[in-house]
Structure 1
Amino acid sequence: MKDSDNNNTTLSIIMKNPSPTNGPRKRTESREVQEIRVVIKDDDDVNVEYEDNDHVIYRVHDTPPVYMWPVYGMQQAFMCVSGALSVPFLISNYICANELPEVRAQLLSITFFMCGVATLLQTIIGIRLPIIQGASYAFLPPIVAMMQLDQWKCPAPEEVQEGGDAAWEVRIREIQGNLLVASVIQVVLGGTGMVGLLLRFIGPVTIAPTIALIGMGFTSAVTDFAEKHWGVAAFTAAMVLLFSLWLGKLRVPVPSYSKENGCHLTRFPVFIVVSVLLAVGLGWLLCLILTVSDALPTNSTEPAYRARTDISLNVVNTAPWFKFPYPFQFGMPTVSLAGFFGMFLATMSSILESMGDYYAAARVSGAPPPPQHAVNRGIAIEGLSSVISGMIGAGHATTSYSGNVAAIAVTRIASRRVFQVAGVILVLLGVLTKFGAVMTLIPDPVIGGLNAVLLGTLIAVGIATLHFVDMNSPRNVTVIGLTFMLGLAIPQWVNAKPGRINTGDEKADQVLMVLLGTPMFVGGLLGAILDNLAPGTGEERGFTKFQQKMTSHTGPLTEQQKADEQSDVALTYDLPLVSACLRRIRCCAYVPFLPSFKGFFAPKSEKDENEKPVAANGKAVGYENQTYEGDSL
């Protein structure tokens, strides 16, 4: 391959184990893929580069030893807990429950429970990749916009708990109802395969501002918590940076066991895996020291009072040990047109984020790119999980967590069994309401410091999408710059003063207030319109590189490579127990979320693959020797 930039010639030689001649490779057989790159430079120097692509210890369909399940599962569960902490804290503020720690504890427990349920559904019948589902930040902007409408503004503090339904219950029911309806549409989009059609018009120029503006529009989520004690907030943020950036590559000796080496010490990057939890723990400890030493005020009217660790002890004492969340526990949900539109836009943003995570999880796990049916099913299951989340009153939808995907590169554990164990752990934490009550003792400034890093990272993730785009193009610079500017300016103008939008119709005013008051909607819509209308090539717009990233190969495949990839796809993405039966039913080839689906407009030759005779063992031809060896889920 000739490099046009430096006139170097690169020869890549790929060496791999041959697959068994009697059928697809079994899941217990390792795949060793090695690549040697020979770079011939202009000055006749030759540089040989060696790369081992088999970078995971346990692949997606592998099963680690049972005694290691809790260890590996706790790593992923703790990362999810750290990411999910701030969302219930923020929601409790917006529904007028910031002074009600028992409500915050209940929302925390429900959040952990839903993270576990959604993770189990996704890894068993959804995308079936090693992905943790957690609380989505994308749904916070429309919640903020909804709660700024006159009818949802918080009443005076003395009226919050007076007779009838509490103010927070009325507001959480409004969030529940709109989330339910929007999530049902997500199920439909995934189940019908319409997601792929929508993505033909959505590229990096649209995705980048949509994701980045979620964080940019949430500066108040940092200042409202951090202002209680800026010193503690800064200390917490500094600890996150210390552990993740400076100490991230430091591997600490920890006890381990393997059949080959028995009990031994192994080096593990503890700081990068639990950097957020360590930072929260140290920030919490600092507040405890300040509380015990009477360095913090005891007057509840002073801001620094919220940095104390003893203001919610009564919640821990009175909280039950166990409580199982159930549907409509806060009453029957309500729906409004304005709230629905806001939640629907958040749903679309969450879909874009999750689809990127699916492909990222596949790449980091050494798995083939997810086929269309797996992506459709993943989106549909994510919508189903959000429906359940809305029913039991979490106040937010669930989405894939990029942090847990990145952790696979560190731990090199990509087994879906580990992530299922993490899901079980999260469910248990949600049912154990004492745990949620203890989490409410975390002082506000600690959450503020944590939000500064997490939301800042979210902004960076969105901006990083622009590396697919040609940023030397005046077209792209103009579109992206205008998108970010108006995505921040219009919501600020709308939210600065109530009543600025007056169409003469109250419902229309509310819808426009919610939509135009949500930065990610303004930026995402403007980016999509300009990107599709302004002249530009696919390479200039970033579509070419973005689509290349979604595949594991850049050139034509040999017949052997196609057979290997087909085997890997089946082992990774097929539904457990029923896939062989589904391939025997012709109509299943037209169901977008089933493994036999080849696309509505696939050539007839491709669909005929699903109509071939069935082998004697009941499996479709080409899958006769496929074995899961106990990995039924």
Structure 2
Amino acid sequence: MAEVKPEEMVHHPPMDQLQGFEYCIDSNPSWGEAIGLGFQHYILSLGTAVMIPTMLVPLMGGNDHDKAKVVQTLLFVTGIKTLLQTLFGTRLPTVIGGSYAYLVPVLSIIHDRSLAQIADGHTRFLQTMRATQGALIVSSSIQIILGYSQLWAICSRFFSPLGMVPVVSLVGLGLFERGFPVVASCVEIGLPMLIIFVVLSQYLKHVHVRHVPILERFSLLVCIALLWVYAHILTASGAYHHTALHTQISCRTDRSNLISSALWISIPYPLQWGAPTFNADHAFGMMAAVMVSLIESTGAFKAAARLASATPPPAYVLSRGIGWQGIGTLLDGLFGTATGSTVSVENVGLLGSTRIGSRRVIQISAGFMIFFSILGKFGALFASIPFTIFAAIYCVMFGIIGNGGGAILSAVHQHELYAQPLHCWFFTLSWLIDTRVLFSVYDRCSKWPGAHEGWMVQ
């Protein structure tokens, strides 16, 4: 076979190249700019890393010190999982963080009678955490087997562009309950954050400083700094002394006691809460969340590839990424993060907002996660940012992801659109969103008949 001459070698650019991208996966900005962008991704990941432990640890019976330690552990493991995924998994610029899909099975473990009857709060927290760890360790085997056996690659071959549109769109649109409803809980902070962020990132993005579009790339940091100072002034002036507890949790910068409870230096390690306990009921409940996270991550990987201006990931790459995500869930179980792994949707949206798809930026952000999780006081300082500020950011980021799903239609041949009308995927998308909202509302209101009567089991 004749050798290919160098002049005959043709470089194939990324398919469906997006406009305005200066740095793709393998092209890197300067070190100073990359560090700033990486820190921005780290700040954005704090929303999920703080919100999940804040919701779960008090229900487990833990105190503020336990909550601070779980936050540090989740950030530490998130950094490790992100490095593994960007180095050996899909190698896409994605942050692998905690997942809200695991809240329901974890709450089921918390309300287990054998655990709920423990009188001492700290003992109940340790026993509940160990039960959660055991369920995560067992359920991680699903993603590991599906990923490394390439079974998920076989399934992925049937994911046509038209079929992936509702999946990718649901990844963004299905999470809006973490956006506008949380903004409404503290309008005096959330609404200004939303308006300023939209104006800076969308309408003033062409403002350059020394030929660098500073507002397009760093508008998130600028807005968070401004509104964080504003929220701290409101807190220090006593504006929330006589407000409801829910308002104080959403608005105050000192509501979580993370700074006072965190240690100066603390290195998370496996089995730090004790030996995991294993229960079949807990494991099967967690497996359902693993399947939800698996589908959600597949859609997020597709969206990340598009927003990073990369070629669509092949089936075997997606399967390999799911396998490494299973390793991440296993690490969650070993370290005790109280939740499993998924692709951080908000960080994927930030790729589209900054138009920087560099893999190095995400790896630098993983370094920040590990560093500040070890230096607990400094990490807790950044974690004191009110949830409402993150919720305002989510409103924009989730919209970018949802738009990315609809934009996949540009890769669909016009004849296929006529053969399979658009109402097919509109129906699928609306059905998925309605189903998600249905279970969310009925679970929140405790009116779902199967929750108490056991009719599903019968």
The alignment's TM-score, normalised by the length of structure 2, stands at 0.77
Indicate conservation of the 8 Å contact 1:78/1:274, yes or no. no
What is the alpha-carbon distance in structure 2 between the residues aligned to residue 484 and residue 68 of structure 1? Answer: 39
Task: Sort the Cα spacing of 1:20 and 1:490 in 2 relative to 1 into closer, same or farther, 3 A.
Answer: farther
Contact 2:52 2:100 in 1 (8 A): yes
Amino acid at match of 1:112: L
Which residue in the other structure is 1:289 paired with? 233
Q: Which residue of the partner structure matches residue 373 of structure 2?
A: 430
| Contact map agreement 1:176 1:333 (CA 8 A) in 2 | yes
SS in 2 for 1:247: helix
Q: CA deviation at 1:151?
A: 4.2
Q: Is 2:272 the partner of 1:329?
A: yes
Secondary structure of 1:406's counterpart equals helix
Task: Tell me the distance in 2 between the aligned counterparts of 1:454 and 1:89.
Answer: 18
Answering whether residue 191 of structure 2 is matched by residue 238 of structure 1, we say: yes
SS of the residue aligned with 1:390? helix
Q: Secondary structure at the match of 2:97?
A: strand
CA distance in 1, matches of 2:279, 2:269: 23
Distance 1:451 1:175, change over 3 A: farther
Contact preservation (8 Å) 1:113, 1:427: yes
Could you report, residue by residue, the CA deviation over 1:550-577 in whole angstroms, capped at 9, with x for unpaired residues?
Answer: xxxxxxxxxxxxxxxxxxxxxxxxxxxx
Report Cα offsets for 1:517-536 as digits up to 9, x if no partner: xxxxxxxxxxxxxxxxxxxx
Instruction: Report the alpha carbon displacement of residue 363 of structure 1 after superposing the two structures with TM.
Output: 2.6
Classify the secondary structure of the residue corresponding to 1:399. strand
Structure 2 residue matching 1:251: 3-state secondary structure: coil
Separation in structure 1 between the aligned mates of residue 48 and residue 256 of structure 2, nearest angstrom: 22
Conserved 8 A contact 2:135-2:279: yes
Hey, what does 1:480 align to over in structure 2?
431
Deviation at 1:70, TM superposition (A): 1.9
Partner residue in 2 for 1:267: 213
1:346 alignment partner AA: A
Q: Who is 1:501 aligned against?
A: 453
1:166 is paired with a residue of what secondary structure? helix
- Residue 138 of structure 1: how far off its partner (Å): 1.9
The one-letter amino acid paired with 1:85 is V
Q: State how far apart, in whole Å, the 1-side matches of 2:48 and 2:206 are.
A: 23
Q: Deviations over 1:327-362 (max 9, x none)?
A: 010111223233222321221222222222222232
Further displaced range: 191-200 or 378-387: 191-200
Partner of 2:416: none
State the distance in 1 between where 2:212 and 2:332 align: 40
Unaligned runs of 5+ in 2: 410-419
Q: Distance in 2 between matches of 1:52 and 1:384?
A: 32
Are 1:21 and 2:6 an aligned pair? yes
| Equivalent residue, structure 1, for 2:413 | none
Aligned to 1:103: 66
- Shift of the 138–486 alpha-carbon distance from structure 1 to 2, 3 Å rule, reads closer
Residue 432 of structure 1: how far off its partner (Å): 1.4
Q: Which moved more, 1:317-326 or 1:143-152?
A: 143-152
Gaps in structure 1 of 5+ consecutive residues: 1-18, 35-50, 256-263, 504-508, 514-633
CA contact (8 A) 1:236 1:282 kept: no
Matched residue, 2:412: none
Q: Are residues 1:251 and 2:205 paired? A: yes
Secondary structure of the residue aligned to 1:266 is coil
CA positional deviation for 1:118: 1.0
For residues 210-256 of structure 1, what are the alpha-carbon distances to aligned partners after superposition, in whole Å with 9 as ceiling and x for unaligned?
7589648x78x998x889xx4xx12232134213433322137565x
Deviations 1:172-199 (Å, cap 9, x if unpaired)? 2222211111112211110001113445
Q: Which moved more, 1:331-340 or 1:193-202?
A: 193-202
Matches within 5 A, 1:584-599: none
**Whole-Å Cα distance in 2 between the matches of residues 214 and 360 of structure 1?**
14
Q: Distance in 1 between matches of 2:214 and 2:60?
A: 42
Greater RCO, 1 or 2 (C-alpha within 8 Å, sep 6+): 2
| Aligned pairs (5 A) from 1:17-416 | 21-22=6-7, 24=9, 55-97=20-62, 100-153=63-116, 159-161=119-121, 165-199=122-156, 203=163, 207=167, 215=175, 230=185, 233-249=186-202, 250-251=204-205, 264-270=210-216, 273-275=218-220, 281=225, 284-297=228-241, 306=249, 308-310=252-254, 316-317=259-260, 319-416=262-359
Structure 2 distance, partners of 1:118, 1:345, is 21
Q: Take 2:165 and 2:314, find their aligned partners in 1: how far apart are those partners? A: 24
The 3-state SS of whatever aligns with 1:435 is helix
What does the per-residue CA deviation read over 1:309-344, in whole Å, with 9 as the maximum and x for residues that have no partner? 45666x635643221110010111223233222321
Superposition map of 1:526-541 within 5 A:
none
Same amino acid, percent of matched pairs: 24
> How much does 1:278 deviate?
5.6
Structure 2 Cα separation of the partners of residues 447 and 354 of structure 1: 24
What SS is found at the alignment partner of 2:213?
strand
Deviation at 1:121, TM superposition (A): 0.5
Between Structure 1 and Structure 2, which shows a larger proportion of helix residues?
2
Alpha-carbon displacement from aligned partner over 1:407-466 (angstroms, at most 9, x marks no partner): 334434333223222221221121111133335645xxx325644774897699679868
Cα 1:485–1:302 change in 2 (3 A) is closer
For this pair of structures, how many residues does the alignment match? 438
* Matched-pair contact (CA < 8 Å) for 2:194–2:392: no
Task: Tell me the amino acid that sits aligned with residue 500 of structure 1.
Answer: H
Cα distance between partner residues in 2 of 1:296 and 1:166: 33
CA contact (8 A) 2:109 2:131 kept: no
- Asked if structure 1 preserves the Cα contact closer than 8 Å seen for 2:167 and 2:299, the reply is no
**2 CA distance for matches of 1:366 and 1:459?**
18
Q: When the two structures are superposed, what TM-score results if normalisation uses the length of structure 1?
A: 0.58
SS in 1 for 2:313: coil
User: Pairwise mapping of residues 507-522 of structure 1 onto structure 2 (< 5 A)?
Assistant: none
AA at the equivalent of 2:212: T
Give the drift of 1:379. Answer: 0.9
* Inter-CA distance 478–192: structure 2 relative to 1 (3 Å threshold): closer
CA shift in 2, pair 1:121/1:138, >3 Å: same
State the 1:378 CA deviation: 0.9
Measure, in 2, the Cα distance between the counterparts of 1:117 and 1:170: 25
The residue aligned with 1:261 is none
RMSD in angstroms over aligned alpha carbons? 4.4
Mapped to 2, the partners of 1:393 and 1:112 lie a distance apart of: 12
